[in-house]
Every structure is written in structure tokens, then in C-alpha cells.
Structure 1
């Protein structure tokens, strides 16, 4: 309200001057004199339509027609203030004694336009014109240096519009009624205001202990009580016209969504964990340079309670928030999203699959931040983590989450997660997991809880797009995983193998395994794996295939071998095909693979029989196979030896004939 108090004081000064001029100058020159005097005091163009009328009864004073105060030269063309009429009344008896007692100061049907540009300039900062610009006939009358009493200042049926170009925010207040009482500068001043802010009711009461100190640019003790959007705020402390303040603040907002709507964010839908009642109690501090601080604050939000220390600095390009949040326990369990005020309720549930709703990245550019969160326990849906230490840095619409310490589901999770809103939205990360329980993890992430095992692994990924669906369809990256001893619930692979019946469930309906390992690559939203290794007491398996992350589809081949003996002999090798949506996959025998497998077995059997027969023949010829020597090498060696023997015999006979038997 600094701008309003300054305007009131400017008008009071003008009244003191005009109280004398009103009866000395012709009426057609009074409006000109007032306009020039106010223009000199404010540095703005002042227009008064209609002559100023001196009033005698019930109090001496002035009444004018329409008043316009021009805007700053860099702001919009509309006036900063336009009022349908001004009524100023003085106490004649007090004026005769030399005291200034203003009985009334009323602005009717006022339209006030406040504006801040992208560099932080404010149109309500008034600068007096040079002395030469204020030329009033006759010798100016200097206001007496006496205490000023303002019985009543009123603003009725008025409107205020605030435009912030830096944050692209527009706030509107309508039906405003304001009442200011300042019986004397040595006593308290009282301010009451009521109206509607962005359609939400607003009421304010304030008491200033030392208005004289306030007028002189010093701080005064003050109390503020405000009711808004179904909530309330109280402040007890000290403050001044430069908006520097320090004191205890208490905010109680039963519906935070309504509060955001009242401050120009009507379409924000809050998650269930942030949609409940909010209470903040702490020490508020605002410096003359605009830094807003909160110390030793206790915040209650829905079922969560945490401690907060924060400072919001104006910043050159954007505000900068430096905050530390600590809590014993935080619960951000899954739940319905609280609709913004005025939005449709009871909307149909979204179809199965990733959301295609565009992600609003505008909030990433609202401010820069360095946030530190620590909690002994953290709950996200079915996920229970703790202790947790996370640091989040936001710089020019790029957020980096440093997972410094997260104890998650009997294991640990660490690494980095990045959300980049500079231009098109992209997300990426480099995560490392150790011994994390898979059942609650999958239940929360993809709605499946069939896999029970500890997970260790690494994941590097990058994706971009305007929605979750687009991001999942664009993912790229790589990783590896290892699952320790566990079970697959609802699937009895051993029973299926023994009966070759995919509908077989079996007692307990689960497959117990010792270890599952593998690695994968991701390109254009498709995850590929070629080295899955599955080890179980009664079965071994290998697998390869693809997972389309965008449409959530599986296309995987698993080759299992059921072991009849402990030494691994007598196994039954059966391939399975797993395909369809991962929420309800189809598991079937790979009949073509079985046929190929049987043909391969028959080929190998024929080759074995042929090899055995060949060895028998070689043995009949007296050729002895060497240990580990392939059959082909044995046959080749036998032929070479026989050819050498025959050649030697022929050479010997030829030499005998040549030498005549000698």
C-alpha cells in the first residue's frame, strides 16, 4: 500500500494549498492550479474535468469532477489512476487554529492500473518535476509543519489491475472498498479493505502504531489480518513504506488451489499430497532490496509436516530461491489430483497407456533455485524410502536432481535426474540401484507386482517430447541388471514345461529362481535385450527380444530347459513366446521353434549315427582315433597314411626292377 499512502499524502498537501487558494482565485483557475501542483508533486500529467467546487457545509473543502493521473512514459497508455469524483473536507475550526484535520478524502469509482516492466520498473514510483515546471500564479503557500489528522479516507466501488511483465502475470481486484483512519500522527492508523481478488473474496485489516515514523520513511510496529480464498493470514511485526518488514507470519489455507487461483494461477491442478489444508507459521523478513526470507518456519501440508528455511532474492533475470526442507516423515502417496477451481470434476479415467496431456514447462522458467530436502522417511505410493537426501538445482529452466542418499525398499538408489525446459522438453538421467525390492517398485511404476526379487543395476537414458507418451516413445540409452534370488508369482514355468500346457497353474502358482541377469540398449523408445540368463533349481533359461516402451508392448522369446537330474542330463528344452501388452501379456509355446528344435535334434542324431558308423569302419581298417580328434581329421589322417604306404611300396618295387633285384 506504499503507493496509496504516498498518493494520499500528495493529495493532502494539495488540499492545504488549495484551502487558501480556493477563495482567492477565480473558479475557472482552481482546476488548473490543482493540476499543476499535483503534476509538480508527482511528475505525471494530471487532468481534472469540471471545475473544483469549494464546499462550506458540513465541512469546508473541495469537490471535483473526473480525475486522471497519467501513466509512466514507458507503461501502457491507460491512466495510472482515474476516479469519477474526489471529495476532500477540512475541519474549519482546526484550520483556524493552524492544525490540519482532514475530515474526509473520498475517491469514487476509481480505476487504478499498476504495472511492472521486464526490467523491474514500477509505474507507481512517482518522481517530482523540476521546480520550473510548477508555475502557479501568486506566491505559493507553504504547508504548515503541523501534525496532520486524517479522520477518514475512502476508496469506494473501485478496481485495481496489476500487470507484471517479468512473470507475465495479471492480477485483478474488483468491488474494492477501502477505509483509512489516521486521527493523528502520534496515534495508531487503521486501514480496512474489502473486495474480490481474481473472483475470490478478500478482506484486510491493518493497524499502524506510529504513522508519523512511517511518513518520515522509518519503520513502525504494525499488525495485519487478511482473509482470502477461504483462508487467512496474520502478521505481527514492524514495517515501513519501503516494504521492508520483519515479524511473525501465520498463513492458514484450507484449499491451496483456491489460493493459487486468487493469485493468477487458475488452472493449476495439485496432487493429492499438496491439495489438502496448508498452514505456515514462521518469521518473515523482507529487506529494502526486495529479498524475502522465512526462518524457523513450520509448514503443514495435507498429512505432511516439515521445517522450512528459505530466502527469495529478486535476481537480475529471475528470482532466486534458496531453501532447506527437513522432515521426520513425508507422505506423497498416489491419490486423486485436486482440480483447479472451475475445472470439470468427475472426468472419465484416462485410457491405459502413457498420458498424452502436454506437460507445462512454464513453471521451470519462473525462478532459479537451490533446494535441499532431507527426511527420515519418504512415501511415494507403495514405495517407502528413507533416510533421503536430495538436492535440486534449477537454472534457466533446467532442473538437476542430485540423489545424494536414498534408502529405498531395503536397497539404495543414487545418481542424477535432469529435466531440461530450455526450448523443447527433455528428460535424462544416470541412475544406479543396489538391492532394491522389485515387487513394490513395479507395482508403483507400471501396476504389476508379480516379480519378487532384489534388483541391482544401472540405467542411462534420454528422452524428449511434449508429453509422457512422447518422451517414452523417444527414449534412448543403455543399462544392465541383476536380480537376486526371488520368484515370479502367477507363473509356474516348470509345471508348464513338464506338461507342455500354458494354462497350467499348479499349487502355489509361482516360479522360484536363483538369479536373472542381462543387459539392454534403448533406441527410439524400443528396449532390446539379447543376453537374458535365468537360473533356477529345476530349470535354466535364456531370452532375447524387445519391449516397445511407448505402446507398452512385449515381443520376447524365452528358451527354457527343465532339468530331470542334478547333473543336468535328461533336460527338456522348450521355447516360449511372450507378447502383447505388458499389463496382460500372452504366453504361448513357440511351436515353430519346437519344430525347428526337433528337426535339429534329428539332424544331430543322424550325424551322430553316421559318425559312429564311420568310426566303426575306420576301426575295421585298423585306424585308431586319437583322443579329442574330430572324425574328419581321423579319416583324413588315415587316407594320408594309406596313400603314403602305397607310394612307398610302388617306389620300392620300381627301384628293385631298376637294380635287377640287387
Structure 2
């Protein structure tokens, strides 16, 4: 049965009821005082509903030309099992109806309907039973259904001059869900209401409080509704809602929602809206909502645009201190455009464009509607300068580490994060370090975050990684499984250390784990394995062959040889593996292949301090390159000789020198051996 037909049938019933009531009212008015019938009225309600009706105030009645009823303080008892508090009460209510239209034409013409001090207490108990269910007719029973053959040609109509509700309070308690919603201070004013599609001025104001959650506030509403009984279309023209909310941000948040109109088709359960404009939290959101059905589950879809806003300002509204960044203008501008669809479990955002400062992301997002849901994303970005978002350099300079605060693992961010997705970036830079064609995956839940896969082009080669951060335990744990391959060593050294003294190709693998609240603490107890290889390059700044020749000359008391400038050591291969314990990497398999020399040895690298301490042995071969740069004496002494070297100092610029202590010791030992040989030879001559 359509909505218009239902309304017409109800009007017939109301008209008939009013006609009978009018005759009784006239008799009461002429011969009796209506206050004398309180008990009869209460008994009738008791019989019909099983509820106790208590009328404490006076009842007044007028008949011509309007049937006007005014009732003082009254209350309706609660359903069985819901306590002694009344379900509904009011301080005063009045209602007037014109008699002749109701009797002659079944037209309901209401002068005014007013109610003051309404108190409505709605409860759903722990078993899902409500205290109002027994007052609603059972639509499945034959008694409550209306005959489908009822006339659709009725002239019944409704005309209400005004409705006023003053100082109302509605409390809704869901004991099953543990939730309470209170609407109080409610005032509602409705102008002339007809069923012919003409608009009605309507205004309302109220306060609200929602628990748990501590969400409260106040709002005012203005609109001009209209209902066409024939078509079953309900309109709200010029809808405006504004107010303030407490509990969303650190300070009361004002908001304003506007739309030119909302239309509800009650016959086919469709809702359509004009453009919706919402302003709150220093943001403006404009949405074009597509028509949607409310017959079953509601799933509206809209194109939304969020005007430029400042994440820094938004953080402050939520009592979050914005991070200090190297670029003070970072995190100052975000613009969002997307198509949004609300489902039972999430808000799905597709065709997303997010502009964060100078970076643009496109793709899709899913925002869960519950605290236990998972954020999901698939985004592609153009370019981002990560250096803008890092901490600013410490005052006074003094190097990257001088006075710099340690980088803290964001436990409070990771622990509650439930997210899964991937991001692609064309380019990301951190100072002079540049990653290109980046793919990053993220999976985070229950305090465990995994960033995998991680892949990018990196200075002519590539980088891949698998990073895990576990903050579920007492101390955060960082695990890394990373690889670099075919990386241009010259470009890497220039970017990381601003040095132009090394060339070649580097590849390596790092499987490391550490615990601590910040990266410095993690470095101090880092454990795992490392492997690295350099190929076909050179190191400018140290000429290992010259240092060996200079040490020989010093030991022999000879002038130093002439240096070949610039000082440089070429290599065809350098490789090593190591075991890391407590932040110290130890290795005993260093191997380096130079043009006429091999280096082998071992030592340690202090990762937190960034220093190296290696002892190696240089074995010199009789090769053409050697002959070119050696004197006959050097050729004789160094061919197939093993010379100790020390590699020490900062990782970025280590010093490579002959180990003079070992050389002197060896020289003394050789001299002693020679003297012993001479003496032994004299004994046998």
C-alpha cells in the first residue's frame, strides 16, 4: 500500500474518531466537568495499553467553533520490567480541532498543537526488548492491517496551523550496547502544515549528550519542509544546521551544515539531496550526494571536495603538538577530492586526489566505521621531499649528530594502528639521497608493523627491503632485511657524505635486529649479519702503495719517495662479511684486490660511533704495474712480501697506513735472525 493511500485511510479513521469524540465532548461540556472523569480516562488507557495514566493537572474543554482540549501535568507509566519511572510525561498539552470540517468532510483542521515540558524515557534492555514495543500495533496481525479495498478517492486531508514543543527532553538508553543518548532543552516550532506539498517554516534547537564517548553539544535547525500526500514526497527546503560539539577536539568545535534541499520519496524509499556544504574543524567539505535508497541498508555515495586546510591547525584542535620540521611550512596545506561511499563497515573513497603541500597522491582509501576496523589504501604519488618533514637541525650546527635529539620510535602511533595498503612514488628525496620508482607495502595491527615490500631504484642500482617494527612488548623491536645492488658508489658517497673521493659499484645485504625506544638505543644492541662488496673503483685520498714505500724509507732512514698525485688507490674488488653483536660488527674475511696487491684481514666497525678499526695484510705481486712504480731495491724487498696495514678512523674517511709497530717488530726480528745466522755460521767455519 502506498504512503498516500495509508495517510488517506488514517484520515478516515481519525475523522470518524473525531466525530464520535465530538458528540461525547459536547455532552460532557454541556452536562459534566471533564475533571470528574480522570479515573475513567485512566482506566480506559490501562485497559487499552496496560499502562497507568496519571493526570495531575486540570482538564479544560471547549467545543465551538473549535474543539479545544488542554491537559495539565500528566504521565504515562512504563512497560512491565522497566522500573517505576514514567515512560512519558508533560507539564501541559493543548490541542484544538475545527468541528464542522471533521464531521462533514473528514478533514482534520487543527488550530494549534502545543506541548510543554515533554519527558520521554526510551529504553532497550539487555535482552533487546524496548519499553515502547507494546504500544506499536502488530502489523503482522489482521487486526492492524487496513483493507486494501479501502477507497483511494477520499477527500480526507490534514491542515495544522502550528505545532509548538517547548523544553522537551528525550533520553534513549540501550542497556544491551551500554549507550545513552540524551536530547534536552528541545524547542520545536512548526508553521502551518498541510498535505498538499506547500512548504512549512520549521525551526528547532536542542542540546545533546552521548555516553560513552563524552560527545555533547548544542545545535539549531532551520528548514522549510513540505509533504505531498498524493505523491508521498517529503521535502526539506533550505536546510541549515549549526551548533557546537564538545568531545571531538580539545576545545568546543563549531559546525554549520547547509543544503538547498533534501527530498524523500516515501513510496519508493528514495532520498535525493542538493549540494551539501559542511564547515567544521577549520575545514570546509562540499558533497554532491547521489540519490540512494533507505529501504534496506543505507549506502549513500557522494563526490566530495575538502578545501585547503592546515594539518598543523587540525592537530592543535585535537590537542596534538605539531612536529617541528626543517621546513616550517611543511604540513601546512592539504586538499582532498574523492568519491565517497558509505557501507556497513567503512567509508570507501575512490578516485582520490590528495595534495599534501607540494606532493599529489591519487588512488583509493577505506576508512573503517568502527574502532576495530582496518584502514586500507592504494595510493600513487609524484614526488616528495622528505627532508622538509624531518626535525630541524640543532642550534649551533656541529654536524648531523651534534646535539641532535634521537629519532624516537612512535609507539603511540604504531600500537593502535590497524592498516594495510601500498604506496607508489615516482621520486622521494632526503637531502641528496634520492629514491625513484618506489613501491612500499604496509601491514600493521596489534602493535606489529611490517613495511614490505620495499623496492626502489637507487643511484643507478636498486634497493629492496623488509622492515618490521614490533611495539607490542615492553621495548620496541626493529628488524631489517635489506639489500642494495649495482649502486653507483660515487653518487652514493656524494649524497651521503658530500665526498667525491670514491668510485665504483657497491652491493650489500643487511639482516639486523635491535631493541630500544629510539634509533640510537637500537644501534647500541644491534645484532645480525652483514655482507658487502665493492667493484671496479678507486679511493682518492690515500695511495696505499705510496704509504708502504714511505714507511720502508722511514725504517731505513732514507728520504721518502716522490709522491704520485693525486693520491689514489684503485681496486677491482673489495668484499667482506660480518657478524653484528651489541652494535659492533666483527669480520675476519676482508678481501681487497688491487692492481698488484691483495689485502686480507679483519677487524671491527662500531656502528653507533661510526668508526672502523681493521688490521690487514698486503701481499705484493710482481706485476707490470708494480715494476712501473718501484725501484730495484723495492722490487727485491717487496715482491711476495706481506706488509701489515691499519685501517682506522671514521667510516666516511678512514685512514690507511702501514702498521709501523709490526713493521719495526719484524725488522728487529729479521736483524736478530741475521745476526744469529752469522754467529752460527762462524761456529761451523
Equivalent in the alignment of 1:187: 235
Q: 1:377 to 1:247 in 2, by over 3 A?
A: same
Q: 1:547 to 1:454 in 2, by over 3 A?
A: same
SS in 2 for 1:352: coil
Equivalent in the alignment of 2:448: 398
Task: Summarize deviations over 1:189-233 as a string: whole Å, max 9, x none.
Answer: 403214365237543223274454489965332432122343321
Structural mapping, 1:78-477, within 5 Å: 98-100=158-160, 123-124=180-181, 151-155=201-205, 158=207, 163=212, 176-185=218-227, 186-189=234-237, 190-195=239-244, 198=249, 199=251, 202-207=254-259, 209-213=261-265, 218-238=270-290, 244-262=299-317, 264=318, 266-267=320-321, 269=323, 275-287=331-343, 289-313=344-368, 318-327=372-381, 329-337=382-390, 352=402, 355-356=405-406, 358-403=408-453, 405-423=455-473, 424-438=475-489, 441=492, 451-477=502-528
Structure 2 CA distance for aligned equivalents of residues 146 and 402 of structure 1? 63
Aligned length: 533
SS in 2 for 1:466: coil
Structure 1 CA distance for aligned equivalents of residues 404 and 563 of structure 2? 31
Structure 2 CA distance for aligned equivalents of residues 418 and 609 of structure 1? 64
Aligned-pair CA distance for 1:410: 0.7
Does the Cα contact within 8 Å between 1:203 and 1:226 map onto a contact in 2? yes
Q: Give unmatched runs, 5+ long, in structure 2.
A: 1-21, 26-33, 36-54, 60-70, 97-110, 127-155, 184-192, 228-233, 555-559
Aligned-pair CA distance for 1:532: 2.3
Structure 2 CA distance for aligned equivalents of residues 283 and 554 of structure 1? 55
Q: 2:581 aligns with which of 505, 508, 523?
A: 523
Structure 1 CA distance for aligned equivalents of residues 171 and 311 of structure 2? 27
Q: 1:338 to 1:598 in 2, by over 3 A?
A: closer
Q: 2:608 aligns with which of 506, 530, 550?
A: 550
Structural mapping, 1:11-90, within 5 Å: 26-27=56-57, 33=74, 51-52=91-92, 61-64=114-117
Structure 1 CA distance for aligned equivalents of residues 114 and 573 of structure 2? 94
| TM-score, length of structure 1 as denominator length | 0.64
Q: 1:48 to 1:471 in 2, by over 3 A?
A: farther
Structure 1 CA distance for aligned equivalents of residues 342 and 84 of structure 2? 29
Equivalent in the alignment of 2:645: 575
Aligned-pair CA distance for 1:234: 0.9
Aligned-pair CA distance for 1:411: 0.7
Task: Summarize deviations over 1:109-158 as a string: whole Å, max 9, x none.
Answer: x9x999999x98754599xxxxxxxxxxxxxxxx99998976333336x5
SS in 1 for 2:472: coil
Aligned-pair CA distance for 1:313: 4.8
Aligned-pair CA distance for 1:586: 7.9
Structure 2 CA distance for aligned equivalents of residues 578 and 116 of structure 1? 72
Higher strand share: 2
Q: 1:508 to 1:251 in 2, by over 3 A?
A: farther
Structure 1 CA distance for aligned equivalents of residues 324 and 124 of structure 2? 38
Aligned-pair CA distance for 1:417: 1.9
Does the Cα contact within 8 Å between 1:489 and 1:511 map onto a contact in 2? yes
Aligned-pair CA distance for 1:235: 0.8
SS in 1 for 2:372: coil
Equivalent in the alignment of 1:654: none
Task: Summarize deviations over 1:73-101 as a string: whole Å, max 9, x none.
Answer: 78xxxxxxxxxxxxxxxxxxxxx984346
Structure 2 CA distance for aligned equivalents of residues 523 and 302 of structure 1? 42
